[in-house]
């Protein structure tokens, strides 16, 4: 019979997946945001994209711009 301590042990392969984050320490996915949150996130995404572009990190900048465009599309379809 397994002991309780053995049953509660988290496998090593899952330890990396289990983290606790405080509110504000993570970026909310766009599907989970309401209209105002998406609208408020757009300037930050643009600014982040511009900074990355200025640092010649074009792929990362394109990802930020694409995320912003996706949010704009969702706002327009609402």
Region 38-43: mean pLDDT is: 94
Give dist(CA 35, CA 62) in Å, integer. 23
The pTM of this model reads 0.66
The mean pLDDT value of the chain amounts to 84
pLDDT of the residue at 21 = 73
Please check the confidence at residue 30 and state whether its pLDDT lies above 90: no
pLDDT digits (tens, 9 = 90+) for 46-68: 999 999 999 999 999 999 999 99
Sorted by where each begins, the domain ranges of the chain are: 28-78
Going 39 to 74 to 44 to 30, the CA torsion angle's sign is positive
């Amino acid at each position: 019979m397994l002991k309780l301590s053995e049953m509660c042990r988290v496998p090593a392969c899952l330890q990396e997946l289990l983290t606790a984050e405080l509110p504000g320490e993570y970026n909310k996915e766009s599907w989970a945001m309401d209209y105002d949150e998406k609208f408020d996130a757009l300037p930050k995404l643009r600014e982040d994209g511009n900074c990355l572009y200025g640092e010649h990190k074009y792929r990362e900048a394109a990802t930020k711009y694409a995320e912003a465009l996706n949010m704009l599309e969702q706002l327009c379809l609402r």
